[in-house]
Amino acid sequence: MALATLLCACSPSDGENTGGGGEQPLKRPEGEPDALTQVAPDTVSDLGEEKRSEDEGGVDVEIAYPTVPGAEPFAEELDSIVEEKADDYRAAVSGAEALDMKGALSAAGPDVLAVRLSLEEKNSDGEHTGSSTYWYDTATAHTAYSTELLDGQKGLDELNKLVEERLEEDGVEPEALYPIAGLYDSVGFNPDGDVVVEFDQGQVAPASEGALHAVVPREDAEPLLSDFGRRAQETATQVTPDLVLDEAGTPKDGGAAEVPGRLGPEAPADVDCSDPESKCVALTFDDGPGGRTPELLDTLAEYDAKATFFVTGEPVREHLRTVRREYAEGHEVANHTVTHPDLTTVGEDRVRDELAEVNGLVSRETGERPVLMRPPYGATNDDVASVSAELGLAEIIWNVDTNDWKDRNASIVADRALKGAAPGAIILMHDIHGTTIDAVPEIVKGLDEKGYSMVTVSQLLGETEPGESYLDGAPDEPEDDKGEDGSDKKDEKKDDKGSDESDKDEGKKDED
């Protein structure tokens, strides 16, 4: 009898799934072969809806998504998600006019839920569509990103290859397609259990192509799924009538750190920058991306070196694909304001706008929000620190200035970087200058020969405190070598302008 029950549960009957010991066939969910499954609302008992309108700063935002009794933590997370999306849209999109986010159940069962958000944006350039899908494990009360359907980063890497092949077969040459959470934020299943990946309009191809999708056959995708992904697939491909969930549990902490495609700046396993014997150094590049930043990335990749890019508004908009590549290749993308003002000369509202816009731009492109900022000219004060803390940003200054904005000579720039290098050094350069790009091969080669590990600022410093200011990441000195107050240099606040006293030409592109 047990064997018969198992066979009935696993064998299709007249195109439908069967289960429950063969008592009755389970209905197939709604959905097209090239789209995520859809759950009929009347199959979930007491299904609710959160619906509201917002009008802030002249931008109309409409929000609606389903709520399932017994899954209150999921509803709370969705609320945070849609508010963050609305904030990023208002802050980052030029000429923002309206945003409409509507959610619908894509999967609903005793173990797993999924809500797919469809997004319609309207700005001065026209209308754009997109989607994102979030999953929920009822046993742990954990809200999961779409990439958590995959078996780690390796599973996402393999899926990315298959998706690229599918898009090319459909006549689409994907642009900057990388296995990152910001791109794979809408992943689910069609009624047959094939994996469907959705991309926003203009995300991996010209906007004229519309919103794109790729379907990876079940037999190819199943080996790439996590345990949760397989349970999600099972739930998505059948209908559970009159679904009633048990009382919601308490979400477990720490899940987000293991999300495939969330490429946090974790140091390599063989590098511990907190070790006094380590030789870590952080290369930092301001004001970009520039037209030659991809060449810089090629050089860094050759030496397996990581860097931190403090990006500004218009260059980000001009080189979105480069920002995505920086993140995908393990570099850190950090905030350097929109227009590069001296933040100590403007009010708190302007400081907030300058930083929030870049946060939104980077988040929308990579799926990761910056945790570091660099105040232009190194100029900061209590107001700047307060706003930075509010936005979750630590202030990063520097202790080695190459003055590459002033002396456009590759040899001079390389010489200053190499002479200034010491364990814990934060080296300032600008990737908008062609002479700096020319200097980087000599710099990374020289540092590599001297035994330095080139890491991101977050790798160098470890966990940072929002609003605090850091000059370098030198390993802790013995107690006798610290100041009378026992303070560490890297926690000093720099309240006046730094040595990078360049004029407004620093923010301009190099003519060559």
Contact call for residues 361 and 338 (beta carbons, < 8 A):
no
3-state secondary structure of 119: strand
- Name the burial class of residue 9, with classes exposed (0-12), middle (13-18) and buried (19+) by CB atoms within 10 angstroms of its CB: middle
55 catalytic residue (yes or no) = no
End-to-end CA distance of the chain: 78
Helices (H) and strands (E) in the chain, counts: 13, 20
In 185-292, which residue ranges form alpha helices assigned H by DSSP? 218-221, 227-236
Contact call for residues 372 and 462 (beta carbons, < 8 A):
no
- Catalytic option among 128, 213, 430, 433: 430
Instruction: Give the separation between CA 415 and CA 250, rounded to whole angstroms.
Output: 56
DSSP per-residue codes, 485-509: T---GGG----S--S----GGGGSP
Instruction: Give the separation between CA 460 and CA 453, rounded to whole angstroms.
Output: 10
Phi-psi category of 62—alpha, beta or left, where left has phi over 0 and alpha has psi -120 to 50? beta
383 catalytic residue (yes or no) = no
CA atoms within 13 A on the CB side of 68: 36
Q: If DSSP states are collapsed to H, E and C, what string results for 155-175? A: HHHHHHHHHHHHHHHCCCCCC
DSSP per-residue codes, 396-460: E--SEE--TTT---HHHHHHHHHHH--TTEEEEEETT-HHHHHHHHHHHHHHHHTT-EE--HHHH
Instruction: Give the separation between CA 493 and CA 477, rounded to whole angstroms.
Output: 19
Torsion of CA 266, 270, 276, 281, to 10 degrees: -60
- Catalytic option among 286, 287, 500, 510: 286
- Name the burial class of residue 277, with classes exposed (0-12), middle (13-18) and buried (19+) by CB atoms within 10 angstroms of its CB: exposed
Instruction: Give the separation between CA 466 and CA 79, rounded to whole angstroms.
Output: 24
Token output for 209: 């192509």
Residue type, 28: R
- Name the burial class of residue 6, with classes exposed (0-12), middle (13-18) and buried (19+) by CB atoms within 10 angstroms of its CB: exposed
Residue type, 376: P
The vertex-76 CA angle with 74 and 80, nearest 5°, equals: 115
Spell 221-236 as b/e; 16+ CB within 10 A means b.
beebbbebbebbbbbb
Phi-psi category of 69—alpha, beta or left, where left has phi over 0 and alpha has psi -120 to 50? beta
The catalytic residues are: 286, 430
